[in-house]
């Protein structure tokens, strides 16, 4: 284990011990009886990693290419799947329709995407990259792949493959938590 990771784990362990609930005379400390172990709670780990990656990506991509991370996600998806609907974009990247629609409108204004009424169904729209969108995509992808390489450089090739496989399995299991914790009203 790297020294930095070991230091982080020790620091987190000390912080948890310092925050451990102490019983009061009434048997309650005024604190939660149960707390998350944030270095073992997978949803938190995934969220923290995603937030930090997104924030740093937006800084780099905005400064160098004039796009934020949401715009980059849309550019990369449209390079893979040209002429798709906003609903498809929402489904793949996991965003709500409102933010995606606003982002697409801004991208269209800047000439990165083209939005046209679908030929078969005039109610839906087909979205595709423009020449400028493809050029921007081709510039950003080199930086995105280098960022991924650096992020995963602490893993061996077999570990990277295992990580990808596990993440795909977890992603495929997201429906298992839809509605979890909601109260069924009969």
Contacts 24+ apart (CB under 8 A), 158-162: none
Instruction: Measure the CA–CA gap between 18 and 15, rounded to whole angstroms.
Output: 5
Asked whether 9 and 39 are in contact (CB, 8 A), the reply is yes
Residue 183: its pLDDT value, please?
A: 59
Digit-by-digit pLDDT tens for the chain (186 residues) are 455 556 556 655 555 544 444 444 555 567 888 999 999 999 999 999 999 999 999 999 999 999 999 999 999 999 999 999 999 999 999 999 999 999 999 999 999 999 998 777 777 889 999 999 999 999 999 999 999 999 999 999 999 999 999 999 999 999 999 877 775 554
What predicted TM-score, i.e. pTM, was given to this entire model? 0.76
Residue 118: its pLDDT value, please?
A: 74
Q: Please provide residue 114's backbone torsions phi and psi, each rounded to the nearest 5 degrees.
A: -115, 130
Residue 122: its pLDDT value, please?
A: 73
CATH number for the domain formed by residue range(s) 39-169: 1.10.10.10
Nearest CA among 111, 107, 114 for reference residue 67: 107
Residue 62: its pLDDT value, please?
A: 97
CA atoms within 13 A on the CB side of 113: 31
Q: Which H or E run contains 74? A: helix 69-80
Q: What's the token pair of residue 32?
A: 């939660």
Domains of the chain by residue range: 39-169
């Amino acid at each position: 284990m790297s020294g930095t990771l070991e230091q982080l784990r020790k620091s987190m362990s000390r912080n948890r011990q310092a925050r451990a609930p102490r019983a009061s005379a009434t048997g309650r400390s005024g604190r939660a009886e149960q707390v998350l172990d944030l270095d073992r709670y997978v949803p938190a780990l995934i969220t923290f990693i995603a937030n930090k990656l997104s924030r740093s990506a937006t800084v780099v991509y905005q400064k160098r290419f004039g796009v934020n991370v949401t715009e980059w996600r849309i550019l990369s998806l449209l390079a893979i799947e040209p002429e798709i609907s906003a609903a498809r974009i929402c489904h793949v990247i996991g965003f709500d329709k409102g933010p995606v629609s606003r982002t697409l409108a801004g991208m269209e204004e800047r000439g990165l995407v083209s939005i046209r009424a679908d030929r078969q169904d005039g109610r839906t729209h087909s979205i595709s990259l423009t020449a400028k969108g493809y050029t921007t995509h081709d510039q950003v992808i080199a930086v995105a792949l280098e960022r991924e390489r650096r992020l995963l450089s602490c893993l061996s090739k077999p570990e990277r493959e295992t990580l990808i496989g596990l993440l795909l399995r977890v992603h495929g299991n997201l429906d298992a938590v839809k509605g979890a914790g909601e109260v069924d009203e009969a």
